[in-house]
Amino acid sequence: MRRTGDLKLIQELNRSIVLDTIRHYGPISRSEIAKRHKLSPTTVTSAVSELIRDSLVSEVGTGTSNGGRKPILLQFSPDSRFLIGISISGSKITIAEMNLEAKVRKKEVFTIKRYQGDQVIAYLLQIMEQFVLPYESLDNCVGISIVTQGIVDSDNGVIRYNPKLKLKDIPVKEIVESRFHSKTWLDNDTNAYLLAEKSIGDFSHYQNMIYVTIGDGLGSSILVNGSIYRGFAGGAGEFGHTTIDRTGVRCDCGNIGCLENYVSWPAIYAKLLSALAKGKQSCIFELAGHDVNHISSAVFRQALSQNDPLAESILEETASYLASGLVNLVHLFNPEAIILGGEIAFENELLVSKVTEYVHEYAHGIFTEGLAIRLNSLGEDVEVVGAAAVVLQDTFQFSL
Ligand SMILES: [Zn+2]
């Protein structure tokens, strides 16, 4: 029995290597795959047959011959199957259909309103039902991947703790699988975003980096020697709940003075409202159609692009708090790169330049030499592309 198990494992591994090679280097011939990985031609032929049978790979014409028969070239077929990616933030649920290269084909966004606890899960299931309604079946769906804030047990697919949405020990994987009969993954959102930047985005060459999401909360994910550092209970990277002021603001988590309450969108929004109430001059009120309820992070970024003094002064303050936190991370983990993502960071070059300035001023020179601080490369789609990256890595072992 043991030997059969080993053999099956080796076959699966070879199949993954072959698929990954076709994905990266296709159109490519069978013999070239064999040569690249020192695999036997029989091994490659049998793996390719399986991949063609599963529609993951197709034959696309012939290459040039070295004297003998012209070799048949193989190509990855990313549109043969699809997957569903879902991101649950503190304020919205985003759901999308993507192909096997994480290209978004259809995407919908829903506001969570004031739902909490079980209501959030009921709402999620309702959105999913509605989304899959037009599909005849999910037979061609590789799986469903859900990413969310807070502490997640990704092995068992359980949300351990999400203070913002009041979710505790929710077996999401089990609930979704029993309802939709499709394999389901659950992971922390920022871990998924980091995985996406590493496997699909522009950051594939870094082995030590930190992804920071600045949105309705503040999260981070830490890549150490090419692997995500998850900690003992899967909670590593809860950057937003690091304490910066023992006498500061009370946080949803029960602690006082958590960094999140100084740099996330709700903190920025509260500062904007208070400044506007005091009669501070700003174009924000006008950009929001003279309705404070319409002041969004997009409006804030728009004001920044118009050099609005109020928006700039709040950004400056936010960047300095964020940078203090980042200086701590830089000293603890000595990363090669820090990626800034989330609704506050999208296309926000001013945030990057301010944060870089502060980090370089306060972190030790040895740590900042060669340190890249950059915006995420996948834009707003990272929310669902991150979810896709989790499935693609686990199902096909797409190389990091
Ligand atoms: Zn907290």
Sign of CA dihedral 109, 115, 118, 123: negative
Task: Tell me the CA–centroid distance for residue 94 and ligand 1, in Å.
Answer: 24
Task: Tell me the CA–centroid distance for residue 315 and ligand 1, in Å.
Answer: 21
> What six digits make up the tokens of 219?
């999260």
Task: Tell me the CA–centroid distance for residue 17 and ligand 1, in Å.
Answer: 43
| Structural contact between residues 76 and 56, judged by C-beta atoms closer than 8 angstroms | yes
Task: Tell me the CA–centroid distance for residue 179 and ligand 1, in Å.
Answer: 33
Task: Tell me the CA–centroid distance for residue 136 and ligand 1, in Å.
Answer: 44
Task: Tell me the CA–centroid distance for residue 215 and ligand 1, in Å.
Answer: 15
> What six digits make up the tokens of 81?
């199957």
3-state SS assignment for residue 374: strand
Instruction: List the pLDDT tens digit at each of the 400 positions of the chain.
Output: 455 668 888 888 889 999 989 998 989 999 999 999 999 999 999 999 999 998 899 999 888 877 788 899 999 999 999 999 999 998 899 999 999 999 999 999 999 988 999 999 999 999 999 999 999 999 999 999 999 998 999 999 999 999 889 999 999 999 999 999 999 999 999 999 999 999 889 999 999 999 999 998 999 999 999 999 999 988 899 999 999 999 998 998 899 999 999 999 999 999 999 999 999 999 999 999 999 899 999 999 999 999 999 999 999 999 999 999 999 999 999 999 999 999 999 999 999 999 999 999 999 999 999 999 999 999 989 999 999 999 998 888 765 4
Task: Tell me the CA–centroid distance for residue 257 and ligand 1, in Å.
Answer: 7
Task: Tell me the CA–centroid distance for residue 371 and ligand 1, in Å.
Answer: 28
Task: Tell me the CA–centroid distance for residue 386 and ligand 1, in Å.
Answer: 24
Q: How far apart are CA 330 and CA 11, in angstroms?
A: 41
Task: Tell me the CA–centroid distance for residue 256 and ligand 1, in Å.
Answer: 7
Task: Tell me the CA–centroid distance for residue 250 and ligand 1, in Å.
Answer: 8
Residues 6 or more apart whose CB falls under 8 angstroms from that of 54 comprise: 80
Q: Which domains does the chain have, with CATH numbers?
A: 2-76 (1.10.10.10), 82-195+383-389 (3.30.420.40), 204-377 (3.30.420.40)
User: Are β-strands 184-188 and 141-148 bridged in parallel, bridged antiparallel, or unpaired?
Assistant: parallel
Task: Tell me the CA–centroid distance for residue 235 and ligand 1, in Å.
Answer: 13
| Structural contact between residues 162 and 153, judged by C-beta atoms closer than 8 angstroms | no
Look at the block and give the residue holding tokens 């904007």: 272
Furthest C-alpha separation in the chain: 82
Q: Give the number of other CB atoms < 10 A from CB of residue 91.
A: 16
Task: Tell me the CA–centroid distance for residue 260 and ligand 1, in Å.
Answer: 7
- The CA–CA distances, whole Å, from 36 to 28, 33, 114 equal 11, 5, 54
Residues 6 or more apart whose CB falls under 8 angstroms from that of 189 comprise: 87, 88, 89, 147, 148, 149, 213, 219, 383, 386
Task: Tell me the CA–centroid distance for residue 396 and ligand 1, in Å.
Answer: 36
- The CA–CA distances, whole Å, from 380 to 3, 132, 322, 385 equal 47, 23, 20, 9
Task: Tell me the CA–centroid distance for residue 164 and ligand 1, in Å.
Answer: 10
Task: Tell me the CA–centroid distance for residue 243 and ligand 1, in Å.
Answer: 8
Task: Tell me the CA–centroid distance for residue 253 and ligand 1, in Å.
Answer: 4
Task: Tell me the CA–centroid distance for residue 157 and ligand 1, in Å.
Answer: 23
Task: Write out the H or E segment, with its range, that includes residue 6.
Answer: helix 2-25
CA distance between the termini of the chain: 32
Task: Tell me the CA–centroid distance for residue 194 and ligand 1, in Å.
Answer: 22
Task: Tell me the CA–centroid distance for residue 261 and ligand 1, in Å.
Answer: 8
- The CA–CA distances, whole Å, from 239 to 160, 243, 246, 250, 365 equal 17, 9, 16, 16, 23
pLDDT for 1 equals 46
| Structural contact between residues 369 and 69, judged by C-beta atoms closer than 8 angstroms | no
> What six digits make up the tokens of 72?
């048949």
Q: How far apart are CA 200 and CA 396, in angstroms?
A: 14
Task: Tell me the CA–centroid distance for residue 76 and ligand 1, in Å.
Answer: 45
Task: Write out the H or E segment, with its range, that includes residue 176.
Answer: helix 172-180
As a whole number of Å, the CA-based R_g of the chain is 23
Sign of CA dihedral 138, 143, 149, 150: positive
Residues 6 or more apart whose CB falls under 8 angstroms from that of 329 comprise: 210, 220, 222, 239, 335, 338
Partnered with residue 373 across adjacent β-strands are: 338
Task: Tell me the CA–centroid distance for residue 233 and ligand 1, in Å.
Answer: 17
Task: Tell me the CA–centroid distance for residue 163 and ligand 1, in Å.
Answer: 8
DSSP 8-state class, residue 186: E
pLDDT for 8 equals 82
3-state SS assignment for residue 108: strand
Task: Tell me the CA–centroid distance for residue 210 and ligand 1, in Å.
Answer: 20
Nearest to 194 by CA among 180, 184, 204, 186: 204
Q: How far apart are CA 41 and CA 71, in angstroms?
A: 13
